[in-house]
Chains A and B, each alone.
Chain A
Amino acid sequence: KNEVEQSPQNLTAQEGEFITINCSYSVGISALHWLQQHPGGGIVSLFMLSSGKKKHGRLIATINIQEKHSSLHITASHPRDSAVYICAVHSGGGADGLTFGKGTHLIIQP
């Protein structure tokens, strides 16, 4: 079973700061997903990646397959970025479904 660890568990920062959330996993994967869960509970997909780097607006996701590690960066953070950010992996093989980290609770203060 793949173990997915996120750090930090909680992060409070000031508006405008550069944010980094880390994710590591124990077994090789087919793909890694970054998700955002809003205070109201809804879950939105931010990125799916299997190598390299992806960018969408102020969000950047990177993955290092050899190191079994991924990072999610937020540039010029804003209070509306306050949410729980969840890393999830697809471990490959014949089965589907994601294995999730426990999430990083991010608060951006004005």
Chain B
Amino acid sequence: DAGITQSPRYKITETGRQVTLMCHQTWSHSYMFWYRQDLGHGLRLIYYSAAADITDKGEVPDGYVVSRSKTENFPLTLESATRSQTSVYFCASSERGTANTEAFFGQGTRLTVV
């Protein structure tokens, strides 16, 4: 299916475990983003990527790792999950960056760390 998809949609994990959230887009957009959404904070940027093999930190990168070996995929890894990382995570893509083109969002992944 065309679009941007995230998996899994829901995940429960234990403190200290490594978790990877997947994001896949079919448009060949150059830019991809990871955001987290928390009550009281709204959406905040974790990491973004302007192209394959290029990634940059956002506002809240600590505890997260990203990679982008292929244009269409942008996985987000929590190396050692903590309760403060319980959140809803959204992946997004944009053809030429959000200064120039609109953003398309995945359905979100609800992550609970217990």
Main secondary structure of the interface of B (DSSP, over half): strand
A selection of 27 A-B contacts at a CB cut-off of 8 Å is A31-B100, A33-B102, A33-B103, A35-B105, A41-B88, A42-B105, A42-B107, A43-B92, A48-B101, A48-B102, A90-B97, A90-B98, A90-B99, A96-B31, A96-B33, A96-B50, A96-B56, A96-B94, A97-B48, A97-B58, A97-B59, A98-B33, A98-B98, A99-B59, A100-B42, A100-B43, A100-B44
One of A44, A96, A103 near B42 (C-beta < 8 A): A103
Query: What count of chain A residues pass the 8 Å CB interface test?
Result: 25
Residues of A within 8 A of B (CB): 1, 30-31, 33, 35, 41-45, 47-48, 86, 88, 90, 92, 95-103
Smallest distance from the beta carbon of A64 to chain B beta carbons, Å? 19
Q: Which residues of B contact A88 (CB under 8 A)?
A: 43, 98
User: Interface extent on B, as a size class?
Assistant: 20 to 34
Which A-B residue pairs are the 7 nearest by beta carbons?
A30-B99, A97-B45, A43-B105, A45-B102, A100-B43, A102-B42, A90-B99
